[in-house]
Amino acid sequence: MTEIILTQYSGKFIGPVAKLIGYIMNALYTFLDSAFGIQNIALCIILFTVIIYLLMFPLTYKQQKFSRLSQEMSPEINAIREKYKNKKDQVSMQKMNEETQMVYEKYGVSTMGSCVQLLINFPILLAMYQVIRNIPAYVSSVKDVYTPLVEKIMGVSGFQDIMTEFLKESGIGMVKLNFESDITTANSIIDVLYALPGHGWELLKDSFAGLTDIINSTEAAVVHMNNFFGINIANSPMNLIGTGWGNKDFLLIFGALLIPLISYGSQVLNIKLMPNAGAAGGENDAMARQMKTMNTIMPLFSLFMVFSVPVGLGIYWISGSVIRCIQQLILNRYMKNLDLEVIIEKNKEKVKKKKEKQGIYESQIANAARLNTRKISEPVSSAEKEAKIREREEYSRTARKGSLLEKANMVKEFNERNNK
C-alpha cells in the first residue's frame, strides 16, 4: 500500500495538525468498522468533534469562569479608567496599568483567558477542512476502498489519455492528474475519484467500459461511506443544489439547504446561551456594540461558508455548535451557584504565594513603604551623625584579629599617615 503524500496539505503548521486529525479519523473509522461493521465518515466526524470538545472542556470552563469574574470586576476596572480618564502622561498611564493588573490578579483573571479556546479551535477548523476535502489522503482505510479500482484503471492501455479526457468531461477543475510515477499517478487518480459528483461515476463507466463491475462496487462503497441522510459529504451544498435542480430531485435540494440553515441556527442558539457581559457606560457601550455586531456576523459567516465547503465540514461545524450548547446549559446552571467570594479569596492567596516565591514578602513591602514616606528634605541632626561615626569607629577597633575588617583598618591608617 502506497502512502499518499502529494495530495496532503503541505503547510508547516496546519499540515501536521491535519495529519494528526487524519490519524484520529482513521482510528475511529477502523474502530467503528471492526466493532460495529459501520463504515461511515460522517459518524467519524461527529465522534471526532465530541472527543475534541470533551478534551477542551477544562478550557471552556475557565473561559466561562473568566466571563463571570469579568462581570464582577467590571465596576472596579471602570472606576480605574474613570480615575485616569483625562491623564495621558506616562506616569499616570503606568499607574493605571498597575492598578488594573492588581484587579486582574485579585480576581484571578488572565487577559488571554477568552482567547485560548479560539487559538485552539481555529487551527483545528482549518486542518479539518483540508482533511474533509480529501479524506483518502489522510484516512488510509478510505484510500483502500479506491485502490483496487485504481490498479485496474492503471492496467488499461492508454489510461493516461482516457483519464485526461474524462477529467475534462467530469468538470472537476480543482483536481489535476500527475503521471510522473506510479505512486503519484495512483494518488492523483484517487483524488479525481473522491471528487466525483454523482453523474461522474456514469461517465467513468463510459470511459472504462471493461471495468463496469468494479466501478459499480467501488461507487456503492463510496456512497455508503460518504452518505449522511442521503447526502454525499464530499460535495458542497452548492453543488448538491445544482445536481438536485438538474435531476429535479427536490429532496436533495432540501437536504442540501438544511446543512447551512442548521449551522446558522445552532450558532445563533449557542450565542444566546452565552452569559452576557454585563456593564454599561463609556467604553463598555462601544464594547457591547462590537460584541453585538460580532454575534450577528458570525452566524451569517457560518451560513455562507457552509454553502461552499464540503458537507463534512458543515457537519463538524454543526456538531461543535450542538456540543457547545449542551456544555453551555450545564455551565450556566453551575455558574449560577458559583461562590465568587471563595474564588476571589483563593486567588488572593495564590497571588500572595506567587509573590512570596519571587521574594516579595508583605513585611518587606511595608518596610519599603515606611522608608519611602520619609521626606528627603528632613535634616539629620549632628548628634545623630556623631553617634553613627563613634559606632563605626568602635566596631572597627573591636575587629577580629586576622579578619578582612582588621586589614581594611590597617590600610586606612596607613593612608591617613601618608596623607598627613
> What does the block give as the cell for 103?
484587579
Q: Are residues 146 and 32 in the same domain?
A: yes
Q: Rounded to an integer, what distance in angstroms lies between the CA atom of residue 94 and that of residue 349?
A: 25
Which region among 22-31, 67-76, 135-144, 248-257 has the lowest average model confidence (pLDDT)?
67-76
7 neighbors 188 (Cβ within 8 angstroms): yes
Cα distances (angstroms) measured from residue 107 to each of 192, 347, 358: 56, 6, 20
Domain boundary among 209, 235, 261: 235
Q: How confident is the model at residue 253 (pLDDT cuts 50, 70, 90)?
A: very high
First to last CA, the chain: 99
pTM to 2 decimals?
Answer: 0.72
Percentage of residues in the chain having pLDDT higher than 90: 25
Per-residue pLDDT band at 260 (split at 50, 70, 90): very high
Least confident window among 211-215, 307-311, 381-385: 381-385
Q: What is the number of structural domains in the chain?
A: 4
Higher pLDDT, 364 or 275: 275
Task: Give dist(CA 146, CA 136) in Å, integer.
Answer: 8
Distance of alpha carbon 275 from alpha carbon 260, whole angstroms: 25
Output the nine-digit C-alpha cell for 170. 467530469
Residue closest to 324 by CA, chosen among 293, 303, 299: 299
Q: Are residues 186 and 156 in the same domain?
A: yes
Beta bridge partners of 231: 228
pLDDT band at 405 (very low <50, low <70, confident <90, very high): low
Confidence of residue 29 (pLDDT cuts 50, 70, 90): very high
Which residues touch 413 (CB under 8 Å, ≥6 apart)? none
Report how far residue 204's alpha carbon sits from residue 227's, in angstroms, rounded to the nearest whole number.
Answer: 20
Task: Please report the pLDDT score of residue 309 as a whole number.
Answer: 87
Q: What is the pLDDT of residue 366?
A: 54
Residue 50, sorted as left (phi over 0), alpha (psi -120 to 50) or beta, turns out to be alpha
**For residues 53 and 241, what is the distance between their CA atoms, to the nearest angstrom?**
31
**204 near 166, Cβ under 8 Å?**
yes
Q: For residue 408, what are the domain limits?
A: 382-418
Whether residue 189 sits in one domain with residue 153: yes
Work out the angle at residue 266's Cα, subtended by the Cα atoms of residues 289 and 238, and round it to the nearest 5 degrees.
105
Domain annotation covers residue 78: no
What would the pLDDT profile of 48-75 be if each residue is shown by its tens digit? Answer: 999 998 988 888 887 777 777 777 778 8
Note the Cα 155 to chain centre separation in Å.
46
Residue 270 lies in a domain: yes
**Would you list the DSSP string of 71-129?**
HHHHHHHHHHHHHTTT--SHHHHHHHHHHHHHHHHHHT--TTTTTHHHHHHHHHHHHHH
Average pLDDT over residues 268-296: 67
Q: Distance between CA 364 and CA 183 in Å, rounded?
A: 71
Are 267 and 327 within one domain?
yes
Q: What is the mean pLDDT of residues 275-295?
A: 60
pLDDT at 93 over 50: yes
User: Rounded CA gap, 383 and 389, in Å?
Assistant: 10
Determine, yes or no, domain membership for 154: yes
For residues 184 and 314, state if they share a domain.
no
Q: Which residues pair with 400 in a beta bridge?
A: none
Residues 148, 212, single domain; the answer is yes
Contacts of 3 (CB under 8 A, 6+ apart): none
Confidence of residue 278 (pLDDT cuts 50, 70, 90): very low
Same domain for 139 and 231, yes or no, is: yes
What is the model's pLDDT at position 21? 92
409, pLDDT greater than 90: no
Q: What 8-state DSSP symbol labels residue 231?
A: E
